[in-house]
Amino acid sequence: MFLKHRFETDELIMLRHLSGRMQLTSKDYSHYLNLEKGFDGEKQFDKWLERLPDELIIVNDLLLEYSHTIFQIDSLLITGESIYIFEVKNFEGDFYIEKDRWCTTSKSEIKNPLLQLQRSESLLRRLLHDLGFNFPIKSYLIFINPEFYLYQAPFNLPAIFPAQLNRFINKLKMTSTSQKDKNLRLSKKLISLGLKETPFVRKPQYTFEKLEKGITCLSCGSFLNPLNKNNLWCQGCGFKEDITHAVIRSIKEFRLLFPEKKITTSVIHEWCKIIRSKKTIRRILLNNFELFNNGKSTHYE
Ligand SMILES: [Zn+2]
């Protein structure tokens, strides 16, 4: 049973929006692709976890803090006897380990995922101890991508490779599910301690003026075109959406990218670009947002 689901982080959503509206630097763009890929891998792992019996509690995407150190757990599973933590990696291609260094066969070094996992385990252990829970913790790296290969993988590496996933999940299905109340109490406690978003997000440089305007397609990210009086459509993938939905979606995007800017009819009219009539924008704003009028100017929240 998923007690906490996984959502895209604001950082990923923001980069997704920006990548369609501006040229990201190559560093920002590859960071963005890594986030997309990581999220995709985590969702694939969720599909495996869905097969577990309902009594096992799964808490996804926990961002916790212990003694001024922030750590993140991709998936946490509580069974009757243990806590499992999973660090999901969607690596693709050939890798090898040399001492503590993880490298691709093209010789570029990546962050050692095992150190990351061990750090999370140690911080979680201390946190649980302070909360008065003494569960043994078992941590695993989950390599979800069937195109991943690790040369010279040590026998005792706490990792599950794609060819082992099915057996690993089947084994988890057999674990005991005693102490249900205690497990539920602990999961709720951990969720309540969870931070909303990591404070270290590095934002690319952008301004309203420099971003390309228009309403992007929900399905493929291209810009939508008018189809008829009430609908927009995407030439790229055929996706159709009614104008009201599309505009509201676009306002949410605007709000995420420009939290400091006021939402006004003119700004949103310019932002959406393809809605010719300002009246349409005003109607959608009036029907879906609260109007604030301070005498001089009007905006919506
Ligand atoms: Zn599309």
**pLDDT digit string (tens) for 67-124?**
999 999 999 999 888 999 999 999 999 999 988 899 998 888 999 999 999 999 999 9
Burial of 89 (0-12, 13-18, 19+ CB in 10 A): buried
Kindly state the average pLDDT of the residues 131-157.
Answer: 94
Q: How far is CA 192 from CA 63, 123, 124, 185, 189, in A?
A: 11, 17, 15, 11, 5
In the reported structure, the alpha carbon of residue 81 is separated from the centroid of ligand 1 by a whole-number distance in angstroms of: 47
| 245 and 138 fall within a common domain | no
In the reported structure, the alpha carbon of residue 14 is separated from the centroid of ligand 1 by a whole-number distance in angstroms of: 18
Q: Is the pLDDT of residue 198 over 80?
A: no
| 139 and 267 fall within a common domain | no
Q: Is the pLDDT of residue 200 over 80?
A: no
In the reported structure, the alpha carbon of residue 290 is separated from the centroid of ligand 1 by a whole-number distance in angstroms of: 30
What residue type is 102 in one-letter code? W
| 123 and 17 fall within a common domain | yes
| 104 and 11 fall within a common domain | yes
Q: Is the pLDDT of residue 175 over 90?
A: no
| 59 and 179 fall within a common domain | yes
How many percent of the chain have pLDDT more than 90? 78
Domain boundary among 153, 177, 193: 193
| 109 and 13 fall within a common domain | yes
Domain tally, the chain: 2
Kindly state the average pLDDT of the residues 288-296.
Answer: 84
| 138 and 240 fall within a common domain | no
pLDDT at 4: 87
Task: Count the Cβ atoms, other than its own, within 10 Å of residue 158.
Answer: 14
Cβ-contact 244, 284 below 8 angstroms = yes
Query: Which two tokens mark 173?
Result: 């299905």
d(CA 51, CA 2): 11
| 157 and 262 fall within a common domain | no
| 188 and 229 fall within a common domain | no
Cβ-contact 187, 78 below 8 angstroms = yes
| 236 and 184 fall within a common domain | no
Cβ-contact 93, 145 below 8 angstroms = no
List phi, psi (to 5°) of 175.
-70, 150
What band does 205 get if pLDDT is binned at 50, 70 and 90? very high
With tokens 């140690």, the residue in question is 122
Query: Which two tokens mark 63?
Result: 């961002």
Domain with 22, as residue range(s), is 2-193
| 50 and 189 fall within a common domain | yes
In the reported structure, the alpha carbon of residue 243 is separated from the centroid of ligand 1 by a whole-number distance in angstroms of: 15
d(CA 116, CA 159): 13
In the reported structure, the alpha carbon of residue 220 is separated from the centroid of ligand 1 by a whole-number distance in angstroms of: 4
pLDDT at 138: 97
**90 found inside a domain:** yes
What are the start-end ranges of the H helices in the chain? 10-21, 26-49, 113-131, 165-173, 180-193, 243-257, 265-272, 278-288
| 79 and 165 fall within a common domain | yes
pLDDT at 298: 84
Output the average pLDDT for the chain. 92
Over the stretch 236-261, which tens digit does the pLDDT of each residue have? 999 999 999 999 999 999 999 999 99
In the reported structure, the alpha carbon of residue 252 is separated from the centroid of ligand 1 by a whole-number distance in angstroms of: 18
216: which DSSP letter? Answer: B
